[in-house]
């Protein structure tokens, strides 16, 4: 009898916005993550509000209190907005100084192969960009995963084409979806940026699809009345369980408000409806 695959618990955070957080939100979030005891925490960008050194230091202090390992990528708020010279010629200098030395763009474990993609665009404030070469390199690396590894790609921006209002999506998204899903065999695409929790199937030209998961902010004061969110993914072989955790501003703790269960099929993944 084949033994069951080990389960990896991953916590997905995004848009922490240190410097513009709801009062006490990061402490409540930290307690919730410790209670869940994940093997890995992933933060998909917008660690800060204005890319100030003090905000990066606060973010790093928070990350260093997380249980087990953590990895992060920058978001559009993590590049200086009011220093045009720095934004053009050293847009990620502060991020690298405080955060980048402790994270990586690739992560390998017995159950997971994770590619982190920097989708920030120094020439655009909100929208993102992924070059074809960046997507191709990530896809080639994912394609070399072992059979027991789930293949995951993460970016700050949604894997959707750039919108006309410059708020969401990223240039190069169509090619990235094709490369990551059809060539890399990606099982899951993760993102943040939009400050909302969303789960969908993301397709590629071959007809294969991955699970697309966007997460809201767990701490930002910007949408606090709509709820603060983070996601918990329990991944094992051909099964993925996703729990959506939400906290309203008036509540003292996060509550699990939804659970989604996925199984692998011939075309990628499908959701099991209870």
pLDDT, one tens digit per residue, over 27-71 is 999 999 999 999 999 999 999 999 999 999 999 999 999 999 999
Order of all β-strands in the sheet with 106-109: 106-109, 112-117, 150-155, 188-191, 209-214, 198-203
142 within 8 A of 115, measured Cβ to Cβ: yes
> Is 122's pLDDT higher than 90?
no
Considering 94-108, 127-141, 148-162, the range whose residues carry the highest mean pLDDT is 127-141
The pLDDT, as a whole number, for residue 83 is 59
Q: Which domains does the chain have, with CATH numbers?
A: 8-272 (3.60.21.10)
Confidence of residue 225 (pLDDT cuts 50, 70, 90): confident
∠217-56-176 over CA atoms, to 5°?
55
160 within 8 A of 200, measured Cβ to Cβ: no
pTM: 0.93
270 within 8 A of 262, measured Cβ to Cβ: yes
Other CB atoms within a 10 A radius of the CB of residue 97 amount to 13
Q: Single out the residue of 58, 62, 42 nearest to residue 50, CA to CA.
A: 58
Confidence of residue 85 (pLDDT cuts 50, 70, 90): very low
> Is 165's pLDDT higher than 60?
no
């Amino acid at each position: 009898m084949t033994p069951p695959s080990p389960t990896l618990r991953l916590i997905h955070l995004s848009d922490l916005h240190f410097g513009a957080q709801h009062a006490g939100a990061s402490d409540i979030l930290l307690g919730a993550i410790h209670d869940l005891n994940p093997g890995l925490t992933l933060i998909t960008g917008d660690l800060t509000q204005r890319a100030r050194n003090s905000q990066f230091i606060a973010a790093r202090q928070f990350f260093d209190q997380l249980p087990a390992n953590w990895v992060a990528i920058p978001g559009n708020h993590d590049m200086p907005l009011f220093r045009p010279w720095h934004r053009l010629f050293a847009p990620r200098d502060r991020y690298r100084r405080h955060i980048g030395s402790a994270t990586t763009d690739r992560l390998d474990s017995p159950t997971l192969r994770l590619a982190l993609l920097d989708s920030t665009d120094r020439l655009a404030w909100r929208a993102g960009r992924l070059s074809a070469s960046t997507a191709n390199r990530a896809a080639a690396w994912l394609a070399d995963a072992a059979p027991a590894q789930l293949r995951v790609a993460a970016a700050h921006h949604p894997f959707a084409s750039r919108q006309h209002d410059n708020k969401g999506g990223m240039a190069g998204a169509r090619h990235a979806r094709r490369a990551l899903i059809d060539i890399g065999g990606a099982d899951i695409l993760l993102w943040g940026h939009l400050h909302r929790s969303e789960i969908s199937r993301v397709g590629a030209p071959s007809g294969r699809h991955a699970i697309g998961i966007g997460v809201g902010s767990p701490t930002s004061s910007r949408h606090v009345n709509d709820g603060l969110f983070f996601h918990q993914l329990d991944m094992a072989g051909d099964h993925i369980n996703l729990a959506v955790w939400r906290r309203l501003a008036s509540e003292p703790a996060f509550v699990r408000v939804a659970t989604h269960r996925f199984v692998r099929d011939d075309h990628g993944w499908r959701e099991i409806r209870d």
